[in-house]
A = this chain, B = another copy of it.
Amino acid sequence: MNLDFSPQELAFRNEVRAFLAEQLTPEFAFAGRNCAGIYCELPIARDWFRVLAAKGWSVPHWPIEYGGTGWTPAQHLIFKQEMARADAPPLSPNSTHMVAPVIIAFGTDEQKAHYLPRIRSGEDWWAQGYSEPNSGSDLASLTLKAERDGDCYVLNGSKIWTTHAHFSNRMFCLVRTDRSGKPQQGISFLLFDLDLPGIEVSPIISISGDHELNQVFFNNVRVPVAGLIGQENDGWTVAKYLLRHERSSMWSPLLRARLERIKAQSAGCDPALQLRIARADMRLSALEVSELRMLFEEMDETRSSLMSSISKVSGTELRQEITELGVSLAGRDAIRMPDRPEQTGRGVAVATYLNDRAASIYAGANEVQRDIIAKIMLR
């Protein structure tokens, strides 16, 4: 048992730091630091992604044959920590961490050849089509209709809470191709372009005033069958695979960066607030080790599911606690209407707090995560 990096790992850390010192311009860091949403917006996000791509670091976790780096877990950890610490713009995982692993696991050679290089280079930007107006945490109840007609599926219905759809040119989507069986059956996993006729992307403004989310309407949209991933009606298997893959996400590096920024501003503040900051700090240091354990401990499928839900709950709730500290620290100044903080820096504390209320709702509401934890524990 050992929490220190090896000399090789420290050397790698120096390499990452040197890269960041050179390539992460003040503009990138400003946007990263003042990103009040989940991810930075385009064009800054894409510009930064292309810097990473040029270095060969845009998709480090992919298999080497598709452009991954073959890093050890410790290297991935170092990369994440250093990126967060340097205020690199947070990037959406849709393309690199969600659809790409699915294409690698289930895609045909044509699909791989077509999509993967464009993801790796930053040319393509993907949106996720999962939630529907009447189907949130209960994903299996989705109804977006896809009827086969020749070499196309005809899509009717809508997807909602589609983050950054207005920046994306492609979408991966769960659609209903059969409604005769159980809800989990009859779902298919489909890829298509967002500029197809009949698709309308309609903004949803969040309580922070930001436009991150969208509703996407489908009106007789003809999607080529070539976009089908895996078998028709077998999309649930694909979705579950993706869910497992998502589990590598770590909350603590970003939280550490945020909390250190708060600590740096907290000298002389209200003693009760200082105690709250210290408590969050101590809890974060425990979460950091928990996330290291997820990365380094061997676990079976059950334990891995359990830890994933535990990490979602504790990571998001600590995230909310920390952004709330930011609001307390800002005092009355936090009541100013935030004004596009990613570009102006104004109101980032309050906008972040407001946006982060969603952290316990998205990606499987924390109530659902607790249901999962209990179910595993009680079986």
Contacts and interface: CB of A to CB of B under 8 A. Distances in A.
A275 to B, nearest CB: 5
A271 interface: yes
A246 B272 CA distance: 39
A63 to B, nearest CB: 50
Nearest to A278: B272
Nearest to A275: B272
Contacts of A271: 271, 275
Interface in A247-278: 271-272, 275
Contacts of A275: 271-272, 275
Nearest to A272: B275
A272 B271 CA distance: 9
Interface in A268-320: 271-272, 275
A20 B271 CA distance: 42
A116 to B, nearest CB: 51
Contacts of A272: 275
A271 to B, nearest CB: 6
A204 B275 CA distance: 42
A47 to B, nearest CB: 46
A274 B272 CA distance: 10
A278 to B, nearest CB: 9
A272 B282 CA distance: 16
Interface string A156-197: 000000000000000000000000000000000000000000
A222 B271 CA distance: 66
A273 to B, nearest CB: 11
A177 to B, nearest CB: 38
A75 B275 CA distance: 43
Interface string A4-24: 000000000000000000000
A272 B274 CA distance: 10
Nearest to A279: B272
Nearest to A271: B271
A318 B234 CA distance: 53
A275 B275 CA distance: 10
Interface string A42-54: 0000000000000
Interface in A86-121: none
A275 B276 CA distance: 12
A269 to B, nearest CB: 14
A281 to B, nearest CB: 14
A275 B272 CA distance: 7
A272 B275 CA distance: 7
4 contacts: A271-B271, A271-B275, A272-B275, A275-B275
Interface of A: 271-272, 275
Across the A-B interface, the 4 shortest Cβ-Cβ residue pairs: A272-B275, A271-B271, A275-B275, A271-B275
